[in-house]
């Protein structure tokens, strides 16, 4: 039976979208990658044949794309697609673990390198996913020796654009003072309010000097 002749709730692609990839069997996941079958064999039949040809999923993951061409119904496009998918997995596993922010001190550790020993004030935004893994750390604004702006709308936009769920901000005081200004306090309150409005979690707003840091209470 062809995959498209199955009820929608039983088709691999539809099942993946509805209940997640972890619920699918190996051959179903591979069938999604292959996309189609060959001469009376469904994509799932072809997926089973490919897995059998390679021995198991581990063997498939290590297979050269040219080896897959030996399976009837697997052409260069299918072989390349499967090989590329497994190679992406290997690259992802080889990537160093992302920094994580689980506390205010973690936020200071991540933001401080962009703020210390700077002659001008700058604002750094640290964006994280739901587990605290750092997605982006960037300088959003840079001002004078004793001030920089905290554009709330731009901060929120940058977090959303990065696909973040959690964020914190920090700015430096080249003077060495850890005392927040009235503008710092007001900006912190606005950030907390804006984050709540759009469903983000606001970690903290920090003042960082060359030797210390301090959180600004919202």
Q: At 39, which CATH number?
A: 1.10.150
Q: 90: domain range?
A: 3-94
Residues 84 and 149 reside in one and the same domain: no
pLDDT of residue 38: 84
Q: Is the pTM of this model over 0.85?
A: no
In-domain check, residue 99: no
Residues 23 and 66 reside in one and the same domain: yes
How far apart (Å, rounded) are the C-alpha atoms in residues 31 and 46? Answer: 7
Q: How many CB atoms lie within 10 A of CB 160?
A: 15
For residues 143 and 61, the model is more confident at: 61
When pLDDT is cut at 50, 70 and 90, the band that residue 73 belongs to is: very high
pLDDT of residue 96: 59
Tokens of 81: 């697609």
In-domain check, residue 113: yes
Which tens digit of pLDDT belongs to each residue from 129-184? 999 999 999 999 988 766 778 899 999 999 999 999 999 999 999 999 999 999 99
Residues 45 and 142 reside in one and the same domain: no
- For the chain, the domain total comes to 2
pLDDT of residue 4: 61
Instruction: Find, among 142, 147, 134, 133, the residue nearest to 114 by Cα.
Output: 142
How far apart (Å, rounded) are the C-alpha atoms in residues 154 and 127? Answer: 13
Residues 90 and 146 reside in one and the same domain: no
Domain with 184 in it: what CATH number? 3.40.140.10
How far apart (Å, rounded) are the C-alpha atoms in residues 35 and 30? Answer: 9
Residues 90 and 153 reside in one and the same domain: no
Which tens digit of pLDDT belongs to each residue from 26-40? 999 999 999 888 887
Residues 113 and 196 reside in one and the same domain: yes
Listed residues 44, 59, 94: the one ending a domain: 94
pLDDT of residue 72: 93
Residues 8 and 81 reside in one and the same domain: yes
Residues 207 and 136 reside in one and the same domain: yes
DSSP 97: P
Average pLDDT along the chain: 89
Residues 28 and 118 reside in one and the same domain: no
Residues 157 and 208 reside in one and the same domain: yes
Residues 210 and 114 reside in one and the same domain: yes
């Amino acid at each position: 039976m062809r995959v498209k002749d199955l009820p929608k709730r039983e088709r691999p692609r539809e099942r993946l979208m509805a209940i997640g990839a972890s619920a699918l069997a190996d051959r179903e996941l591979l069938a999604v990658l292959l996309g189609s079958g060959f001469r009376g064999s469904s994509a799932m039949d072809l997926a089973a044949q490919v897995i059998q040809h390679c021995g198991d999923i581990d063997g498939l993951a290590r297979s050269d794309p040219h080896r897959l061409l030996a399976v009837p119904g697997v052409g260069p496009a299918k072989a390349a697609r499967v090989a590329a998918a497994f190679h992406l997995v290997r690259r992802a596993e080889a990537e160093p673990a992302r920094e994580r922010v689980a506390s205010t001190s973690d936020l200071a550790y991540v933001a401080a390198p962009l703020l210390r020993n700077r002659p001008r004030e700058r604002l750094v935004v640290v964006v994280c996913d739901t587990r605290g893994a750092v997605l982006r750390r960037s300088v959003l604004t840079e001002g004078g020796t004793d001030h920089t702006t905290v554009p709330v709308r731009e901060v929120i936009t940058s977090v959303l654009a990065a696909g973040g769920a959690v964020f914190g901000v920090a700015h430096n005081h080249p003077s060495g003072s850890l005392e927040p200004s009235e503008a710092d306090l007001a900006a912190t309150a606005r950030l907390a309010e804006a984050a709540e409005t759009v469903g983000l979690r606001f970690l903290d707003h920090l003042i960082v000097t060359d030797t210390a840091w301090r959180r600004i209470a919202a």
